[in-house]
Amino acid sequence: TPNAWEVSPALRKMLGRIVFFLCLPSVLAAQLCKPNAAEGFKVRLSIKTALGDKAYEWNRNQRFLFQAAIAFAMSHHLDLEFNVSNILVCDETPRVSFWFVVTSPDDPSRLVGKESVELAVRASRGRINNILLLNDATLEFVGVLPTLAAPVKPATPSWLIVFGVVIGIVGAGIVFLLVSTVVQKKRKENEVAEEEDDDEEAQMKRTAGNEGIYNTSFSESDRNTQM
Amino acid sequence: MGEAKNPGTEERPKWDNKVQYLLTCIGFAVGIGNLWRFPYLCQIYGGGAFLIPYLIALVFEGLPLLYLELAIGQRLRMGSIGVWNNISPMLGGVGIASMVVSFLVSMFYNTIIAWVLWYFFNSFQNPLPWSQCPLNANQTGYSSECEKSTSVNYFWYRETLNITEDIGISGSLQWWMVICLATAWCVIYICFIKGIDSMGKAVYVTATFPYLVLTIFLIRALTLPGATDGLVYLFTPDWEILKKPQVWLDAATQIFFSLSVAFGGLIAFSSYNAERNDCERDALVVGITNSATSLYGSIPIFSILGFKARTNFNTCLEQNILTLTNHFDIAERNMTVENYDQWFDYLNVTHPGDIASLPLRVCDLQNFLDQSASGTGLAFIVFTEAVLEMPGSQVWAVLFFVMLLSLGLSSMFGNIEGVLTPLQELKLVPKWLPHEVLTAIVCLVSFLIGLIFTLGSGNYWVEVFNAYVGSVPLLIIAFCEIVGVAYIYGMKTFSEDIYFMTGRRPNIYWKACWMVISPLMLLVVFVAYVALQAGTYPTYPAWNPNYEDFPQTETKEYPKWVFGIIVALVVVPILSIPVVAVYNLIRCGIKKSSANVSGPNPYSNEAFEIETQERNTQSI
């Protein structure tokens, strides 16, 4: 009987090729994705800073979600169909940081250029952040500048509203006080016009009542008899 | 009969009650300076040790001056011009000088109130506008000026002041500042519309509200982390510092400017009192309350500064932690603020080369505590930054700025009173002009001239006015006041006046102070002040984004024309003192007679006074 290994050379070649191709992706991956790869990006996650007590554990499944998010961003930006297997992740650290590269869906041995990846990530940054429950500061793509959201500006700056309220109250107060002063003065003038007919005796009594001393030098009534 | 024919001569207004009078005087004395100058001085002059020169200055310089002003105002029952004309026609210029100084000070002081109003208006937003930097033109990052300094600095220098790089470059009128200044003057006007009737009611709120807010801040501040750092730092005495003469000089000037004497406002306020009022007790109350407020206010201020230092220190450490964590890929939260030192030492031993190459900041708590600030820097930069870290920032910001507003308003009342009352005594104002219109005219003119301070270079001008108008002229006026009363009016006559008002003669302490100690101290302070100023050419800190050491301020010298204006600001107010003296000398041809004051005085007809006194003695 022939030895199990004494198979035909053709079969041996085919087996070898199958093994080679099976190992190829991981070998390729190892070669394509490495720290400081030319077309790769370093990503840092600060999950505990972002979520505190609700922080999730970084494991295989979370990594899968990350790969899916990047695949989505690439598909969305380049309008090609990227698969999760096109996103290669390596060099994971306890920090939770890692490098990733993106391979082309047509040719898994070719990497997509850094600029395209950057543009794709920037375009869908908000979405990627939300998927991972992080934000621009806690999900860091080293080298990719975040697109800063412009601060919301209401139509009227709120300080003008407060100013309007204050100046309205003050202005109304001024007008009210001035008008009331004028009205009071008019009323007093009318009263005074009536008082002028008072007797001098009444005036003396009034001044004495206010604990003053009536100064008679300027009194109208003449002590001397008229000539 | 007199009432009907002459509507212009009204009887002198008077206070509703004693409390109103005391609150007005306390409000005038207690100003923003109590909060943003005194704690700073305490800090740089060895904490608790500074209290010694401060209290000595209060006892031997502050209280006597205060008592003097309140007494002569109450006795002679006129504003500053009338009072000094009464004491001696040669001293009439002192009153005019007081009025001019009050006018100039009220102009720039109201600008500070306008700034407080601006911050107050902006505190009703979430998030607070000084917490974030705005984006630059193409939205890729933050504005570079804001990044290099801080968002708080940026908000103050760029969005509030829109400051230019040089005092010579005026820039344009900043419209938002103009309307804030207009609001400030409207608020002043509405409080003064009926003279002290309306002002006296306003002062119930403006004089008491700061104490309420300070207490709230005290309770809040003491619960903040790092508060004890600040307090310990503030109050730890450094006795060595008392050997420096600068400390004593600053203590004396601080007391002097803090009590707001020589403005003429206190004289005007006390002239509305009843004739027999215990002004000695009033002076003691006002003086001691002023110093106590400074002390009380410095506790929450320094608790909050300590909190800010601690927060900055933690932020500094956390930045370092992030740098190290990212570089060495250590797991999150393994390195914390607490175990930073152990980690750092360990990493330094194992990877010294890496550590050296990383941009690590040196975090020193003492360094952060040393970042002291006074004046507008304290209120609008340091404090606003601290407020951002406190939960419920808007509430604290609003409370703080309303407190500053109250403090500023109550001081402005005194300044304006120091302008209005003498103006009416100068008899330049026609009789038919109602009081309301006169007040409106004064406010309007001050607003229009004060538009200078709303220019791009406005802040530099405020500094000029603050440093030169509010210093040397006041010292000279106060010196003339005390010498005038002690020697020209005569201590004997003055003692009699005080006996008439309070029922007891001033004791040896007051007399010694008035005659010798206080004038001497004022003279020494004045000479030292001038000597220090004259030594160097005056410079100012300019905010220049193009400066190589930005965000440090660039120290620039004042241009020659500004220097001329400075000299004018110092000389013009006090010019009236010698001018009026010489004018009277020439006109009357009377030698300075310090003995004959009780003789004929052309400015007061004593015929009725004697009669009144006789009647009083008869009735007693």
B460-482 pLDDT, tens digit each = 999 899 888 888 889 999 999 99
Does B167 have pLDDT greater than 60?
yes
Q: What is the mean pLDDT of residues B481-495?
A: 91
Lowest mean pLDDT among A15-24, B65-74, B355-364: A15-24
Lowest mean pLDDT among A25-29, B69-73, B209-213: A25-29
Q: Rounded to a whole number, what is the distance in Å from the CA of B354 to chain A's nearest CA?
A: 17
- Structure tokens, B489: 């009016």
Q: Which chain A residues are within 8 Å of B610, Cβ to Cβ? A: none
> A103 and A165: one domain?
no
pLDDT of A7: 61
**Is ipTM beyond 0.90?**
no
**Rg from Cα positions in chain B:** 27
Between residues B328 and A170, which one has the greater pLDDT? A170
A5 domain-assigned: no
Q: What is the mean pLDDT of residues B339-349?
A: 86
pLDDT of A212: 73
- Cβ within 8 Å, pair B326-A145: no
> A52 and A125: one domain?
yes
Which residue, A117, A142, A167, sits at the end of a domain? A142
**Which tens digits make up the pLDDT trace of A149-186?**
666 666 678 888 999 999 999 999 999 988 998 898 89
Q: What is the mean pLDDT of residues B594-605?
A: 57
Q: What is the mean pLDDT of residues A132-136?
A: 85
- Cβ within 8 Å, pair B331-A94: yes
Cβ contacts from A onto B, under 8 A = 94
Domain that holds residue A180: 156-200
Residue of chain B nearest A207, judged by CA positions: B1
A8 domain-assigned: no
Q: What is the mean pLDDT of residues A43-52?
A: 86
Residue of chain B nearest A158, judged by CA positions: B125
Residue of chain A nearest B326, judged by CA positions: A95
**Which tens digits make up the pLDDT trace of B12-29?**
888 989 999 999 999 999
How high is the mean pLDDT of chain B? Answer: 86
- Cβ within 8 Å, pair B190-A203: no
Residue of chain B nearest A204, judged by CA positions: B1
Nearest to B190 among A147, A163, A177 (CB): A177
- Structure tokens, B433: 């002009």
pLDDT of B620: 43
> A83 and A160: one domain?
no
> A59 and A109: one domain?
yes
Nearest to B186 among A95, A162, A171 (CB): A171
Does B556 have pLDDT greater than 80?
yes
A62 domain-assigned: yes
Query: What are B214-217's contacts with CB under 8 Å, separation 24+?
Result: B214/B296, B214/B297, B214/B300, B214/B403, B216/B399, B217/B300, B217/B304, B217/B396, B217/B399, B217/B400
- Cβ within 8 Å, pair A151-B135: yes
Q: Which chain B residues are within 8 Å of A98, Cβ to Cβ? A: none
Between residues A101 and A211, which one has the greater pLDDT? A101
pLDDT of A202: 65
A76 domain-assigned: yes
> A36 and A60: one domain?
yes
Chain A interface residues facing chain B, Cβ-Cβ under 8 Å? Answer: 44, 46-49, 93-97, 145, 147-148, 150-151, 158-163, 166-167, 170-171, 173-174, 177-178, 181, 189, 192, 195-196, 200, 203, 213, 215, 218-220
> A166 and A133: one domain?
no
pLDDT of B6: 38
> A92 and A160: one domain?
no
Q: What is the mean pLDDT of residues A59-80?
A: 89
Does B279 have pLDDT greater than 70?
yes
Q: Residue B8: which pLDDT band, with cuts at 50, 70 and 90?
A: very low
CA angle B287, B187, B451 (to 5 degrees): 100
A193 domain-assigned: yes
> A38 and A135: one domain?
yes
Residue of chain A nearest B119, judged by CA positions: A159
Domain count, chain A: 2
A67 domain-assigned: yes
Q: Rounded to a whole number, what is the distance in Å from the CA of A216 to chain B's nearest CA?
A: 10
Does B591 have pLDDT greater than 60?
no
pLDDT of B424: 85
- Going by the DSSP 8-state scheme, the letter that residue A222 receives in this structure is -
Does B3 have pLDDT greater than 50?
no
Lowest mean pLDDT among A54-63, A143-152, B311-320, B578-587: A143-152
pLDDT of B139: 66
> A187 and A138: one domain?
no
Q: Rounded to a whole number, what is the distance in Å from the CA of A190 to chain B's nearest CA?
A: 11
- Cβ within 8 Å, pair B189-A148: no
> A162 and A93: one domain?
no
Nearest to B187 among A170, A192, A218 (CB): A170
pTM, entire model: 0.81
Does B9 have pLDDT greater than 60?
no
A100 domain-assigned: yes
Q: What is the mean pLDDT of residues A209-223?
A: 68
> A124 and A60: one domain?
yes
Q: What is the mean pLDDT of residues B58-62?
A: 93
Amino acid at B382: V
How high is the mean pLDDT of chain A? Answer: 80
A212 domain-assigned: no
> A109 and A176: one domain?
no
- Number of Cβ within 10 Å of residue A212's Cβ equals 9
Burial zone of B591 (CB within 10 Å; 0-12 exposed, 13-18 middle, 19+ buried) = exposed
